[in-house]
């Protein structure tokens, strides 16, 4: 029984690694193998299936991804249920259509995923923002004479303090 669990964990890790590298078809196959070996109601089984949902998205099997995600909303593990509900909300959200002019085609180098074109959103070409030039003021034109305010304030302060002392 222990070797079966190790085999599931190994398949799951391999599937995750393939998913991270964008090799979705290989990832689907590996994760489906792990799914067939694992107890689906366990937390590991839920994690395998959640990864499989993501892999299905990668190969445009949205119906399969949604169906599996709907099953996972009834999973015994609360964390898996909550995660699948969040993913299901995203999967069922309306897809916005982007013009092809906004996308840049990137050829794939992986042999197993070569049929799936990849797109990356192009960033608009913009000039770097230049801060406006710093304008310095001519100090000789600034009036720096004392207007007597500090002397008046100091005198008033002394009178008030003196009056308070005299009254007490």
Domain boundaries, the chain: 2-91
Quick one: pLDDT at residue 147?
Answer: 76
Quick one: pLDDT at residue 136?
Answer: 81
Residues 6+ apart with CB under 8 A from 80: 43, 46, 47, 49, 50, 72
- In sign, the C-alpha dihedral spanning 59, 60, 62, 63 is negative
Q: How confident is the model at residue 111 (pLDDT cuts 50, 70, 90)?
A: low
The answer to whether residues 52 and 66 touch, using CB atoms and an 8 Å cutoff, is no
Quick one: pLDDT at residue 28?
Answer: 93
Flag the least confident range among 1-10, 25-34, 115-124, 151-160.
115-124
The string of pLDDT tens digits covering residues 25-66 is: 999 999 999 999 999 999 999 999 999 999 999 998 999 999
The Cα–Cα gap between 131 and 165 comes to: 57
Quick one: pLDDT at residue 80?
Answer: 92
Domain 2-91 sits in which CATH superfamily? Tetratricopeptide repeat domain (1.25.40.10)
The mean pLDDT value of the chain amounts to 85
């Amino acid at each position: 029984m222990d070797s079966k669990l190790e085999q599931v964990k190994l398949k799951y890790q391999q599937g995750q690694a393939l998913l991270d590298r964008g090799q979705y078809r290989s990832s689907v196959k590996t994760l489906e193998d792990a799914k067939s070996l694992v107890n689906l109601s366990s937390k590991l089984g839920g994690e395998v299936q959640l990864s499989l949902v993501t892999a299905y998205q990668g190969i445009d099997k949205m119906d399969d991804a949604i169906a599996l995600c709907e099953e996972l909303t009834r999973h015994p593990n609360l964390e898996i249920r909550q995660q699948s509900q969040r993913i299901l909300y995203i999967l069922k959200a309306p897809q916005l259509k982007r013009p092809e002019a906004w996308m840049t085609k990137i050829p794939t180098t992986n042999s197993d995923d070569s049929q799936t074109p990849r797109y990356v959103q192009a960033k608009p070409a913009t000039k770097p923002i230049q801060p406006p030039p710093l304008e310095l003021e001519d100090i000789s034109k600034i009036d720096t004479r004392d207007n007597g305010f500090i002397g008046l304030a100091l005198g008033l302060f002394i009178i008030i303090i003196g009056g308070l002392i005299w009254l007490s």
